């Protein structure tokens, strides 16, 4: 979807969107653009406002302030039933008094199609979600995964511009969830519709999304691609929420634009690139550095490396079979840090109390306030 200048127009634009219930602010000035055809996730802990934001897009909540446009049209006072969005509810909201086919075809009543055409569309939609031949079944006779597929088919049959998914996988067991993650991704690529997924599961968001908005307390803390979010979180809060991150007290000095020197407790001095700073930051504000567990490694006895090495002690470890998670205290640091190691052939699992030589890279450091 391009405008006259050939610039990609966002399918959804949020401009300083606010929502408050009395004194309570659920959304505090959300601004974001969601692109046509992308898989977009709203990620955050419970109560961060991600579901409220989804519901304002769907039209179930009126905005208290700001502007919301979908496909270039202002959605002020546009009720849910005429918005070009459809939703997959957390509870799936399958109509219990209707059959599977009646559920899927619910929204087709207003379409100017013959009975046969509608039946064919329903059959196609069921086929698409892998429920071929389930049409005549009663809705209550379905499993959780099947209900979810019915909810998906029911929303997609109307060919919405945007599909909204409110924690659709949270009620499924682990195996089913992983299967549905891949399937949702496949479906999204197949139909090319913009998907907006609400989830509190960071792993799910990383796996499925093109871009993720991480939300805390009614605000977007960072909006980025999964890789960028994981590798370069803007704040400590984001770094802690997505995956595991170790934090060390640090100071930074800048000598010129491309040369930033960091002094981190336990690791020593390092020179880092400007892109390792959070956006709009002065290096002088730095109070800590973050480093991911898998970017470090513990050298086994006799192993040599050309990476930087810090010395510490193994305080504790958790053996997971494929991985071992070490809790290591670097010399001169109060808080221990987590280091994950793949259990490769020939690599021993260290005992508690042994000395650990930790190899690390300046490139994997992220600076925080």
Partner 1 sequence: MIASETGSGAIPMIKLKINIKIKAWPRLGRSEAAQGYFLVAPPFLYALLLLAAPLAAIVLFSFWTQDYLTLDTTLTLKNYREALSDPLYGELLLRSLVISLAVTAATVLTAFPIAYFISFSVPPSRKSMWIFLITIPFWSSYLMRVFLWKVILGYNGVLNTTLTGLGIIDEPLSFILYNANAVVITLAHAYAPFAILPIYVALEKIDRSLLEASRDLGESRVMTFLRVTLPLAMPGVVAAVLIVFIPTIGDYVTPRLVGGPNGLMIANMIQTQFLKLNNAPMGAALAVLAMAMVTAVSLVFLFLNRRYLKGQK
Please report, as ranges, the residues that interact with partner 1 according to CB under 8 A. 58-60, 79-82, 85-87, 89-91, 93, 95-99, 106-107, 109-110, 138-140, 154-155, 158
- Order the strands of the 65-70 sheet from edge to edge: 24-35, 10-21, 65-70, 73-74
Could you write out the DSSP letters of every residue in 269-324?
A: EEEE-GGGSPTT--GGG--EEEE-GGG-EEEPTT---SSEEEEEEEEEEEE-SSEE
Distances (CA, A) of 277 to 93, 185, 260: 45, 32, 9
Question: Is the Cβ of residue 16 or residue 91 nearer to partner 1 in the bound state?
Answer: 91
Least distance from partner 1 to the Cβ atom of residue 270, Å: 52
Sequence-distant (6+) residues with CB within 8 A of 184 are 152, 165, 168, 195, 197, 208
Tokens describing residue 124? 């196609």
The CA-based dihedral angle spanning residues 217, 227, 155, 65, taken in that order and rounded to the nearest 10 degrees: 30
* Minimum gap (Å) between residue 135 Cβ and partner 1: 14
Question: Least Å distance between CB 111 and partner 1?
Answer: 9
In the bound state with partner 1, the residue whose beta carbon lies nearer, of 96 and 321, is 96
98 vs 128, which CB is nearer to partner 1? 98
CB of 291 to partner 1, least distance (A): 43
Closest contact distance (angstroms) between CB of 150 and partner 1 is 11
Which residue carries 């999304």 as its tokens?
Answer: 209
- Token pair, residue 205, equals 């968001």
Contacts of 160 by beta carbon, 8 Å cutoff, 6+ apart: 84, 85, 86, 193
Nearer to partner 1, 160 or 283 (CB): 160
Q: How far is the CB of 86 from partner 1 (least distance, A)?
A: 6
* Structure tokens given for 138: 């009663």
Closest CB to partner 1 among residues 59, 290: 59
| Smallest gap from residue 176 Cβ to partner 1 (A) | 21
Q: Which is nearer to partner 1, 7 or 82 (CB)?
A: 82
DSSP state string for 228-245 = HHHHS-SSHHHHHHSS--
Judged by beta carbon, residue 110 or residue 175, the one nearer partner 1 is 110
């Amino acid at each position: 979807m391009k405008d006259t200048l050939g610039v990609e127009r966002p399918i959804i634009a949020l401009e300083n969107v606010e929502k408050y219930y009395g004194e309570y602010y659920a959304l505090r000035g959300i601004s974001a653009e969601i692109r046509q055809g992308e898989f977009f996730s709203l990620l955050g802990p419970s109560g961060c406002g991600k579901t409220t934001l989804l519901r304002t897009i769907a039209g179930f909540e009126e905005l208290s302030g700001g502007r919301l446009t979908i496909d270039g049209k202002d959605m002020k006072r546009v009720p849910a039933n005429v918005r070009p969005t459809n939703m997959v509810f957390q509870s799936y909201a399958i109509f219990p008094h209707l059959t599977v086919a009646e559920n899927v075809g619910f929204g087709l009543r207003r379409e100017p199609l013959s009975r046969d055409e509608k039946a064919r569309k329903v059959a196609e939609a069921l086929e698409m979600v892998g429920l071929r031949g389930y049409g005549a079944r009663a809705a209550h006779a379905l499993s959780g995964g099947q209900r979810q597929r019915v909810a998906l088919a029911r929303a997609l049959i109307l060919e919405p511009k945007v599909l909204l998914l409110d924690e659709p996988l949270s009620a499924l067991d682990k195996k089913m969830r992983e299967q549905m993650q891949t399937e949702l991704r496949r479906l999204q690529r197949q139909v090319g519709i913009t998907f907006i997924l609400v989830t509190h599961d960071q792993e799910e968001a990383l796996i499925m999304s093109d871009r993720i908005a991480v939300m805390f307390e009614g605000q977007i803390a960072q909006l980025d691609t999964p890789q960028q979010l994981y590798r370069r979180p803007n704040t400590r809060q984001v770094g802690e929420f997505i995956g595991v991150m170790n934090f060390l007290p640090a100071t930074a000095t800048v000598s010129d634009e491309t040369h930033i020197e960091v002094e981190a407790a336990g690791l020593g001095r390092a020179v880092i690139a400007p892109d390792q700073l959070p956006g709009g930051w002065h290096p002088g504000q730095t109070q800590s550095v973050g480093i991911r567990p898998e970017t470090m490694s513990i050298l086994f006895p006799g192993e040599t490396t050309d990476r930087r090495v810090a010395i510490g002690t193994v305080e504790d470890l958790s053996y997971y079979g494929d991985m071992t998670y070490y809790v290591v205290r670097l010399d001169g640091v109060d808080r221990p840090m987590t280091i994950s190691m793949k259990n490769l052939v020939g690599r021993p699992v260290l005992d508690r109390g042994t000395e650990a030589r930790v190899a690390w890279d300046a490139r994997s450091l992220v600076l925080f306030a």
